[in-house]
Amino acid sequence: MRYDVLVVGDANPDLVLRGDVRPRFGQQEQLLDAADLVLGGSAAITAAGCARLGLRTALLAAVGPDVFGTFTRERLAERGVDLLDPGSAGGTPTGLSVILSAPGDRAILTLPGTIPALRPADVTDELLATARHVHVASLFLQPALHEGLAGVFARARGLGLTTSLDTNWDPSGRWTGLAEILRETDVFLPNAAELLAVTGAAGVDEAAEGLAALGTTVVLKDGARGGRAWWNGNTAAAPGLAVDVVDTTGAGDSFNAGFLAARLGGRDVPAAVAWAAAAGSLSTRAAGGTAAQATSADVEAVILSAR
């Protein structure tokens, strides 16, 4: 099988809770507005978004032999994503994230489970040779993969693939070990807080321009404001869409998918940022990261209407 994109990283259920979600200890019972069990994991949501946008998509992720693993496999299959499980998790239970979703913000509680099981050796040359592009997500939840990712990306580039990275948040707060990886990364997709944490810079422009000067295209997920990009001395920006927001979980991952689909479809960076901003915005119309993901026709229609 030939793929447009190979996504590598985490796949697990998300339990998205909405309403009175700020915990109050002391055995106080709180009533919620809604609870949804949905496909989660940054890599899985990005993969689902890529498939929804028409890319032939594979996901390399470790998933356990349990009810959460079955749920994850079924949801990925429904979305047209080929799950490639290297079997490195053994009998470890599948991970789980609980999303406390409030208007304008959210908190995430994650049980790692199988998420850290991937190893650099799982990303074989034979597997890389089946794809045009490789995207890695949730790097700081996968310490073994993190340690060898620079080598994985170097091998991928040697085979003619392009590479992209979304580190997501570092729960340890250390934000280390990225310099060598970013030298092998064609596209880096952080949000503002992640970009500043990774670089230690005082401002977003300074941080992005510093990385772009080293050869990485930096594409910033800027929430409701949309997205921005820096590359080869150039910049571009695109606004987010005005939509009725239900839940922002996974919006950044759908943003990633929009950018990758546009670039792999031959669009230039400014057009790809517009696709990313549109795809991220449209994904917030339902609970969880995948229920409202856009098709290519959806994205093209809203971009056309905004002109």
Confidence of residue 250 (pLDDT cuts 50, 70, 90): very high
Residue 20 lies in a domain: no
**Both tokens of residue 22?**
């700020």
181 belongs to a structural domain:
yes
Q: Residue 272's domain is classified under what CATH number?
A: 3.40.1190.20
pLDDT higher at 92 or 307: 92
What is the C-alpha to C-alpha distance for residues 222 and 191, in angstroms, rounded to an integer?
A: 6
Domain for residue 35, yes or no? no
18 occurs within a structural domain? no
On whether residue 107 sits in a domain, the answer given is no
Number of domains in the chain: 1
In a domain, 23, yes or no: no
Give residue 87's pLDDT.
Answer: 86
Mean pLDDT value of segment 47-75: 97
- The answer to whether residue 61 is domain-embedded is yes
Please determine, for residue 94, whether its predicted confidence score (pLDDT) is greater than 80. Answer: yes
Return the percentage of the chain with pLDDT > 90, whole number: 92
Confidence of residue 295 (pLDDT cuts 50, 70, 90): very high
Q: How confident is the model at residue 215 (pLDDT cuts 50, 70, 90)?
A: very high
Look up residue 237 and give its two tokens: 């920006």
Q: Which two tokens stand for residue 231?
A: 């590359």
- Which range, of 81-85, 89-93, 138-142, 196-200, averages the lowest pLDDT? 89-93
Percent of the chain at pLDDT exceeding 70:
100
| Per-residue exposure over 25-51, b if at least 16 CB sit within 10 Å of its own CB, e if not | eeeeeeeeeeebebbbbbbbbbbbbbb
Give the residue-averaged pLDDT of 110-131: 97
Please report the sign of the dihedral spanned by the C-alpha atoms of residue 255, residue 261, residue 264, residue 267: negative
Q: Whole domain around residue 241: which residue ranges?
A: 3-11+41-94+113-306
The pTM of the full predicted model, rounded to 2 decimals, is: 0.96
Asked whether residue 244 is domain-assigned, the answer is yes
Report pLDDT for 90. Answer: 81
